Amino acid sequence: MPLISAADIDFALQDFSGAASQNVVYGVQSCWGDLKREPLLVPSESGLQNVGTHISLTIRDGALTGLQDESTITVDGVDHVIRDVGVALQDGTRQLTLLVK
């Protein structure tokens, strides 16, 4: 059980995303989410090499029902494929791993 309310989590995600309206759409459901893009670095003989981008989406756990791997989710108007629906975290959020469609 999270230590803060669902409304507080939604407020924080709205603030972090900077979106004017709910920015995540899954089917007919929508919610606030915070999308992060980080370089995916792997060791190589010459040092670290950037081989892509790791995309993660943090949402309030339970905000979207029926999440499934390999399904489409739209964030900030861009379609993505869910690679991993993740697990519920103790803070009441869920972090998904995405791929741009």
What pLDDT is recorded for position 47? 78
| 63 found inside a domain | yes
The pTM of this model reads: 0.85
Q: Which residues pair with 31 in a beta bridge?
A: 24
> Dihedral of the CA atoms 20, 23, 25, 29 (nearest 10)?
-50
Residue-wise pLDDT tens digits, 13-59 = 988 888 878 999 999 999 999 999 998 877 878 877 778 889 999 99
Residue pair 66/27 in contact by the 8 Å Cβ criterion? yes
Distance CA 57, CA 32 (A): 10
Q: Which residues pair with 93 in a beta bridge?
A: 60
**Domain hosting residue 80, numbered range:** 6-100
Per the structure, the count of domains in the chain is 1
| 1 found inside a domain | no
| 38 found inside a domain | yes
Distance CA 11, CA 31 (A): 11
